[in-house]
A and B are shown apart, each in its own frame.
Chain A
Amino acid sequence: MSKPVFKFENVYLEKNGKTILEDINLEIFPNEFFVILGENGSGKSSLLKLFNRLELNTKGRIYFNGEDIEDIPIHKLRDKVIMIMQGATLFEGKVKKVLETYIKKLNLNKTPEDILDIMGLNYSNLEKNTENLSGGEGQLIAISLAIAKNPDIFLLDEITSALSITMGALVRNKMKELQKQGKTIICITHNMENAVEVGERGIFLKDGKIIKRGSVKELIECFGKDEEKCIKR
């Protein structure tokens, strides 16, 4: 087996005196399509944010390619590991101007049109305001920006939730294509067909703890069951 790209050792996350994640031990391998499942509020988003330090663990160690994540300069880590969240995550303004800002600040060697090409979006979107984009269009642009940066690892937080079936399929196929290109994908989804179709292995979170590890099919069984029943299966 190859070496893990990510390794979590006894990781805790506490916020305002509340334990959000508890004793997380985890290995993610190169080129995996890893799925994080769990009920609302179980800590999925918080966990995903730990991978590129949008959240900072309060205990334990996280290793990226064998190196302690805290020793890696933040821009180097985020060149390789990018998170895409659900919802309105683009700055306000005219799409063309907003994209130019991202391109400039992120040193992307691209034009706004190049960015829209990535997910096949219409150039007429450039004249719209980001606030007036449909949820789907905004999400696709955010995805395109992440792809334009060409990271090794994508962290996806419910990115298909706001998408129509067609658009969802488009994104799913893009992610599979990225995996074929050698990328690693770690994703949270509430769309179970999605999870089953693309996901291979994953974990089920409950109250900040991993209560099950296994194939996506096994994990789905955990929904609505209490801990003991789920573990017995």
Chain B
Amino acid sequence: MYQKVVYSAILLIIAIGISYYNKLKAEKDLIIGGIRAAVQLVLIGYVLHYIFALDKLWAQILLLFIMSIIASHTAKGRAKEVKNAGFLAFLGIISGTFVSIGVLLAVGFITPEPKYLIPLGGMVIGNTMTASALALDRFHSELKTNLPKILFALSLGMSTKDASIFYIRKSIRAAMTPIINTLKIVGLIQLPGAMTGMLVAGASPMKAAMFQLAIMYMIAAAVSTGSSVALLLARKDLFYKDITVNI
């Protein structure tokens, strides 16, 4: 297995070759990306190996926590114009993860073991990160483009909550669109990652399908919770008290 994976590098070399012959100038990026991917995956493999062997709940939670921090940092880069975007996304990610993984644990679909918590946690964190960043960025730009409308509503005496709810809704909906679209077509065009992984590992197709279904629902819950939390907190920042817009 370990030796054979080296042969898979042939595939990367094919991609590099295609880039070279077509003058795509992507060779350097492919080489760097390929090496980075290898290093990152080996590294995470080692860390996970250690955490699986340790089999302590605190270690798993610590790992998820660190993943959340890295994810928030990424979110910060994506929603550049929003003050505190990293922190807001972090709170969104934490709450999205807590709610979705919490429910799966509570109903007994999964047990607090590394083989469940780490991969599912990672998936939830990644998806909530993308959603929170998208929601924050969208909300900020909605406020900016619709500033005259919001100011007029405030001027008439509307609360900041009422004056912005329309844009909060739009932004949450935007953050949820990817998962909604995925829910609609999942399995029709390609098999999703988790299901593929389980099939490769020898699970029965039905079991893999059911697991994938729960994962999709989990992501839907996490994404809506996470983006709502991030936005409602962002609103406090983007409006000065209940008085005016602060962007």
Contact = CB atoms under 8 A, between A and B. Distances in A.
A53 B244 CA distance: 7
Given A54-B244, A55-B244, A74-B242, A106 B157 contact: yes
A54 B148 contact: no
Interface in B153-199: 153-159, 162, 166
A106 B163 CA distance: 11
Contacts of B240: 56
B152 interface: yes
Interface string A33-54: 0000000000000000100111
Contacts of B162: 105
Contacts of A53: 243-244
B149 A90 contact: yes
B233 interface: no
B148 to A, nearest CB: 5
Contacts of B159: 75, 105
A222 interface: no
Interface stretch (A59-67, A142-150, A165-173, A193-201): A142-150
Contacts of A145: 156
Interface in B193-247: 240-244
B151 interface: yes
A106 B156 contact: yes
Which of B159, B166, B243 has the largest number of chain A CB atoms within 10 A?
B243
B154 A54 contact: yes
Contacts of A112: none
A79 interface: yes
A36 B52 CA distance: 71
Contacts of B158: 102, 105-106
Given A75-B157, A79-B157, A149-B157, A85 B152 contact: yes
B234 to A, nearest CB: 20
A54 B155 contact: yes
Contacts of B156: 78, 82, 102, 106, 145-146, 149
A83 interface: yes
Interface residues of B, number: 18
Contacts of A49: 151
Contacts of A155: 155
Interface in B110-167: 148-149, 151-159, 162, 166
Nearest to A145: B156
Interface in A130-177: 142, 145-146, 149, 155
A56 B243 CA distance: 9
A84 interface: yes
Nearest to A155: B155
A91 B157 contact: no
A207 to B, nearest CB: 23
A160 B22 CA distance: 60
A78 B148 contact: no
B155 A83 contact: yes
Given A75-B157, A106-B158, A91 B244 contact: no
B102 to A, nearest CB: 35
Interface of A: 49, 52-56, 74-75, 78-79, 82-85, 87-92, 102, 105-106, 142, 145-146, 149, 155
Interface of B: 148-149, 151-159, 162, 166, 240-244
Given A55-B244, A105-B159, 10 more contacts: A49-B151, A54-B155, A75-B159, A85-B151, A88-B149, A102-B156, A106-B156, A106-B157, A106-B158, A149-B157
6 contacts: A54-B155, A78-B154, A84-B155, A142-B152, A146-B155, A146-B156
